[in-house]
Amino acid sequence: MGKIKALFFDQDGVIIDTERDGHRVSFNMTFKEFGFTDEWSVDYYHELLQIGGGKERMKHHWQTKGFSKPVSAEDVDELIKNMHKRKTALFVQLIESGKLPLRPGVHRLMKEAMIAGLKIGVCTTSNEQTAKAITEDFLPDIKFDVVLAGDVVSRKKPDPEIYNLALNLTGLKPEEAIVIEDSRNGVLAAKSAGIHVVVTTNYYTEHEDVSSGDIIVSCLGDPGGENCQLRKGKIQYDGVLRVEQLVDYFSK
């Protein structure tokens, strides 16, 4: 097994717990601005999260439930494109307001990775503008070697395309990287690419089947702060998952 050389982070639900109180809220605000009465509940949005990509979720909603006022097949793609652009702007405003904090342990783990000389990447199906806002505004002291977002790949998670691209761009073998994910689709994507996976669950994903992850925790943990609960993995820990532990664990 090769020496670990990189950490690739998913974004939504891993770096910031954005889904329930970020993306979902921004979608609902967008519907209202565009004259629709559609409103995605917490539970319904969980269903939609099984579909990778925001535009794809809106398209699925239109196909299965329909919008609150009729939209023709000829017009729906352009409408969704425009709504998603506005939704992204609203979400970025929400991010920049500072109302959605980083999840426990994320910044610490990235700093440890930098000190250890590991490459750091973000691999997300979220919009590129959103990824830029989070990496630059929330994590300005982190050097990212690769940030892959939005439509940089044609097939979204659970397809492994985004992680295969990350490996190609960094020149690494699958066994030389670790992915930090939170959802079933993300775990399936990383595993299909042959990469080690650490799962950090959240409100939406704690009951999903992420059992194929190598290590599963409730969060990454911070000394003196919220500690993680280890749910899978034969690793010595004190409530805080550290880069040194992960490198040793996956390099054996």
> Do 90 and 148 lie in a common domain?
no
| Active site (annotated) includes residue 141 | no
CATH number at residue 199: 3.40.50.1000
The domain boundary residue, chosen from 46, 73, 96:
96
> Do the Cβ atoms of 10 and 124 come closer than 8 Å?
yes
pLDDT at residue 123 in the model: 98
Token pair belonging to 52: 């990778």
Residue 204 covered by a domain: yes
Which pLDDT belongs to residue 17? 87
| Structural domains counted in the chain | 2
Residues 187 and 232 in one domain: yes
Do you know the residue count of the chain?
252
| Span 73-83, pLDDT tens digits | 999 999 999 99
Exposed e or buried b per residue across 195-230, where buried means at least 16 C-beta atoms within 10 angstroms of its C-beta: bbbbbbbbebbeebebeebbbbbbbbbbeeeebbeb
Active-site residue (options: 12, 17, 182, 214): 12
51 lies in the same domain as 175: no
Same domain, 30 and 10: no
- 14-62: per-residue pLDDT in tens? 999 888 889 999 999 999 999 999 999 999 999 998 898 899 999 999 9
- Which of the following is catalytic: 10, 17, 182, 214? 10
Could you tell me the residue range of the domain that residue 79 belongs to? 19-96
Report the amino acid identity of residue 68: S
Question: Is the same domain home to 88 and 116?
Answer: no
pLDDT at 48: 94
Residues facing residue 197 across a β-bridge: 179
Asked, for residue 1, whether it belongs to a domain, the answer is no
Q: Which residues of the chain have pLDDT under 50?
A: none
Say if strands 230-232 and 215-217 run parallel, antiparallel, or are unpaired.
antiparallel
| 209 labelled catalytic | no
Residue 19 is predicted with a pLDDT of 85
Of the residues 64, 96, 128, the one at which a domain ends = 96
Q: What is the pLDDT of residue 73?
A: 97
96, 129, 147 - which closes a domain: 96
CA–centroid distance for 122 within its chain: 8
